[in-house]
Chains A and B, each alone.
Chain A
């Protein structure tokens, strides 16, 4: 019945499909033009970037960061909506659908959304020529993994909330700092040593590093690092999904 929960979101998505696809194209085009080409033309010290143009350095980082943002949004407001604003999850719980189906189906939907937006972003990267290796194609699953490492635990948290008031805090003090300081725009080696450790602990850093190692083709140089990134992110997805199943169940079944 997981598929039926997914189908509900698909039915809703059909209404905004066109504008959503359009902005999925537009946003990377604007970012890569302004920051990659515009701002990047002033970046001369490319040695610290691994000897590649700034555009090539930036593009995979932005892809991973975009996946984080899309995932975080999809894991907050639509979840609250299902519990409170129109109680769709309560309606589902009265049918053969189980709370577990609702949690897993919601996460499956987010994974599908991420696949679509990441694929579009990757096409834009290729169009800009902002890659060094044909492995750029694997940036799609890497970005989806990055996004899901956020979506699963945030879904678990959202299912415990009675209103969206705390979501602003997540975005202001979680998502935005990560976006700026996890190696998306500059290597974390430019940060003070103490902050480098903090950056290394954040999931977005691992997502950015993994995605970048694929589009730059540097993954072969340090396969152990890639394994660490994948294990770290996958662990978050698994633990987060398990927690989400628990919190959704508790919310729907109550005492």
Chain B
């Protein structure tokens, strides 16, 4: 743990979630500091959503310690939820109401006055770039617009912590970038973001610090940069061979890189100098169809830690 004078906003020790015999979250420890952007990175089924639901006080803790803003979710659920913003994995917008009505009725759930709700709704419509659609029904909106509305809705109570469960899954690249931009602005304003994702680029863009989850456990923790430094090399050389060739490579690539990873569709060489590795491959008389030298990413960290890719 880094030395931190302010107490963490979220504190978990040995946090466990069981559904009958099935263990969804297995004794995990983490702390989230105020103002931090904290991520849970992992494949589907790693336990990310179960963890988020426990933090959001909608799913009881099976075992272990969980404190959110110094309070106990089991006892102070409504009090904690009053200060949380929640963006669930699946939109829970009321499709029969208008965009503005979705914001205002949600604000009313937090006990805000009608005048206050109306004022904040106008601001948030602006923030989410939905002012022009304010009086339209929600149903015909695009996926990106619905997502932005969900985020706007989660901000109506001016939350201390914003919980985002896979905020951009299923969106096209343009919609994702617009959403990231909005989240980045929130982060600049000092809102604490806690998010889950199985996209490494999302984690790299948004997270100051993250934990890698796999099979209900935390397998690594750190900033995106430090995780890459610790678990991967500076660069990666990706080789694609013609069909049938890859199976004949046994041992032929040994010594070229720090580590060689054989994937079904390609071979990855982990080396600090990717160009040099590519040259060495050619010097050994191997002729891959394509060669790509790139920087290491969190995807490589995940592969190293679990032996599997993040997105199937």
B81–A96 touching, CB < 8 Å: yes
**A177 contacts the other chain (CB 8 A):** no
Kindly identify which residue among B81, B91, B95, B101 contacts A95, using a CB–CB cutoff of 8 Å: B81
Stretch at the interface among B106-114, B233-241, B266-274: B106-114
Residues from chain A with a CB closer than 8 A to the CB of B71 are none
Scoring A92, A94, A97, A253 by chain B CB atoms within 10 A of each residue's CB, the highest score goes to A94
**A252 contacts the other chain (CB 8 A):** yes
Number of inter-chain CB pairs below 8 Å: 72
Q: How many angstroms from the CA of A12 to the CA of B109 in the assembled complex? A: 15
Task: State the Cβ distance, A85 to closest chain B Cβ, in Å.
Answer: 8
Closest A residue by C-beta to B85: A94
A8–B105 touching, CB < 8 Å: yes
Q: Which of A1-57 contact B (CB under 8 A)?
A: 1, 4, 7-8, 11-12, 15
Residues from chain A with a CB closer than 8 A to the CB of B96 are 12, 15, 86
Residues from chain B with a CB closer than 8 A to the CB of A255 are 18-20, 59-60
Task: State the Cβ distance, B266 to closest chain A Cβ, in Å.
Answer: 40
**B227 contacts the other chain (CB 8 A):** no
B95–A7 touching, CB < 8 Å: no
Scoring A1, A86, A91, A252 by chain B CB atoms within 10 A of each residue's CB, the highest score goes to A91
**A87 contacts the other chain (CB 8 A):** yes
A94–B56 touching, CB < 8 Å: yes
B90–A94 touching, CB < 8 Å: no
A86 touching B94 in the complex, CB below 8 Å, given contacts A11-B105, A94-B58, A255-B18: yes
A96–B86 touching, CB < 8 Å: no
A sample of 22 inter-chain contacts (CB < 8 A) reads A1-B109, A1-B111, A4-B111, A7-B105, A8-B108, A11-B101, A11-B105, A12-B94, A12-B96, A87-B91, A88-B94, A90-B88, A91-B88, A93-B58, A94-B84, A94-B92, A95-B82, A95-B106, A95-B110, A96-B109, A97-B78, A255-B60
Task: Give the interface of A toward B (CB within 8 A).
Answer: 1, 4, 7-8, 11-12, 15, 86-88, 90-98, 252-255
Task: Give the interface of B toward A (CB within 8 A).
Answer: 18-20, 56, 58-60, 77-79, 81-82, 84, 86, 88, 90-97, 101, 105-106, 108-111, 157
